[in-house]
A = this chain, B = another copy of it.
Amino acid sequence: MDKIAGLSEAKGEVTTFENVVLPKILTIAGSDSGGGAGIQADLKSFTALKTYGMSAITAVTSQNTVKVNGVHAIPTDFISSQIHDVVTDIGVDAIKTGMLHSKEVIETVVETLNDLNVKCPIVVDPVMVSTSGHRLLNEDALNMLREKLIPATTIITPNIPEAELIQDGKIGELADMMKIAESLGCKNALIKGGHRPYRDLIGNESIDEALSKMEKLSNVTVVGYGSTAEVLEEYRNAHSGEKSNELVIDVLWESDRKHFTLFVQPYIQSSNTHGTGCTLSAALAAYLGKGMSMSMAVKSAIEFTSLGIESSMPLGSGNGPLNHMHSTKILPLSLPTSTSPAPFTTHLIQSAAEHWDDYIYHPFVKQLADGTLPKESFLHYITQDYVYLVHYARIHSLAGYKSNSFADLEAFANITQHIAKESAMHVEYCNSWGISTSDLLKTVESAHNIAYTRYLTDVGHSGTLLELLVAVASCLLGYGEIGRRLKKSALTGEEFAPGLVCKKENNPYWKWIEDYGSSDFQIAVDEGISTLERKAVEEQPSRERLNHLTDIFTRCCQLESGFWDMGLHKL
């Protein structure tokens, strides 16, 4: 589901956003004005995990990180109506419930889902005990939860005090946690151990002993304990900020495969835990809605939540919220869309705007347009450009070396052949202007030419294929733009630059203009843009990489201007 952009198979065609239908996840819970818990935490989690969030609000609260100052309950028929409206029209791939504050609300939710014949996974976060230890559900509601909600639930996610309350039992050690998880009467149960120091759970044994004993049982898997490599463990010891040997043990029971999974992870010391339970159950619903297996979904939800705590920042004066956006990144550049199919190339040209304009509207180009360019300037330019093309072709061969598919290899070989053809054009010009082929071959590369071509080869050697392509794009796109615009100006009378219409008659450089304005060259430009866009979508460069890429493009526009200077002033 993460793959939101891709490429169609059709040659050169960049598709845009894939028609992925996002999993639709519904939360049935209270609203937390402070944004850290309730439907707010749920919607943030759904969004961060790229699922489509919907909500049925059971109560509106007025609260912040310090306390709940007011609760406005929503009538049960209105709760039912919200669920009904979204399920019947939009549909649902997973549901989570949070604060269901009374017997009546619980009954309404169960009956509504039943009436709607909902078959998707249902995650129940039994919000029963507040962080301060205050009990939130009365005995009637608790019975309703036990008798009607739990049997209709896919997985229930109590913490230890909640599990004890539901089961009316005490959890002393790890074995009790497992026993209670199994006996809650729910298809799957996750008992969260964050409220209990792990040492209280394992008694007199060491954690290694306790867990290796567990691991030997055929119906138990231990996840997250024991390191793959000691070098990593050593690295963690050396680089962890605060050292804590505290661990959290969560227990998952799956009745269908009669299996326990123990998730062991470091305990994170933080006061930013407001909405932890909401976030875990919301992430779990999202992962189940994406089609993950139960144990994988639980593992992922635990990780999502832990990272949320660990990456949180201070907010409010009480228990602050988690950070729900720890693993999302804003793309610095839009993906191609139908109305904007070339966002990367557009960004390159816009970022280099000033230097691009210097290059396109250079005096050399204007003198080509009106035919006033001195012959010696043109000849100096064209002989140097012949040498340039040798290196330009070499760099496309290097692009071939950096490719890993025959499609790309073929495309770059094709460009190399085009460049060879272009060079033949140069030989023709020279011959027709009185320079023999053998004289042309004796051209001594000017310092500016060396600067430009060796800059290109160095970028080609140092970076990725995308960097190489960006470096060669300045020449391709600029010549395409100049050829297209000059030709059009000459044929339509439209100004190329203020006061300047390109001349066709008696313009000694008309052949040059026609060559770069030809459909052959314009097709190469089109294919060049397609390849750039395709590679940019594949790589999805970070902001830093993008800046590096625009720097390369800008530098090449400047080197192109310098190339015109070289021609004009016969440098």
Contacts and interface: CB of A to CB of B under 8 A. Distances in A.
Given A40-B54, A268-B339, A349 B464 contact: no
Given A72-B74, A232-B349, A314-B21, A14 B325 contact: no
Given A34-B90, A48-B47, A338-B241, A231 B477 contact: yes
B56 A57 contact: no
Interface stretch (A60-68, A103-111, A415-423): A60-68
Question: How many copies of the chain does the oligomer comprise?
Answer: 2
Contact of A231 (B86, B323, B484): B484
Contact of A477 (B53, B229, B544): B229
B331 A328 contact: yes
Nearest to A464: B464
Contacts of A24: 315
A116 interface: no
A230 interface: yes
Nearest to A268: B339
Interface residues of A, number: 126
A529 B232 CA distance: 8
Contacts of A19: 313
B239 A14 contact: yes
A314 B340 CA distance: 21
| Secondary structure class of chain A's binding surface, majority of residues | mixed
Contact of A47 (B34, B47, B332): B47
A54 B35 contact: yes
B33 A82 contact: yes
Nearest to A42: B43
A433 interface: no
A334 B339 contact: no
From A238, A314, A339, A543, residue with most partner B Cβ within 10 Å: A339
Nearest to A44: B47
A236 interface: yes
Contacts of A311: 4, 16-17, 335, 337
A76 to B, nearest CB: 12
B33 A53 contact: no
A434 interface: no
Contacts of A40: 43, 53-55
A350 interface: yes
Contacts of A241: 338
Nearest to A325: B50
Interface string A461-478: 111100000000000010
Given A33-B54, A464-B464, A539-B542, 6 more contacts: A22-B315, A40-B55, A62-B81, A62-B84, A64-B86, A329-B331
A-B pairs with lowest CB-CB distance, top 5: A64-B89, A35-B54, A33-B82, A17-B311, A62-B81
9 contacts: A17-B310, A24-B315, A31-B55, A33-B82, A230-B484, A231-B480, A235-B526, A240-B339, A401-B461
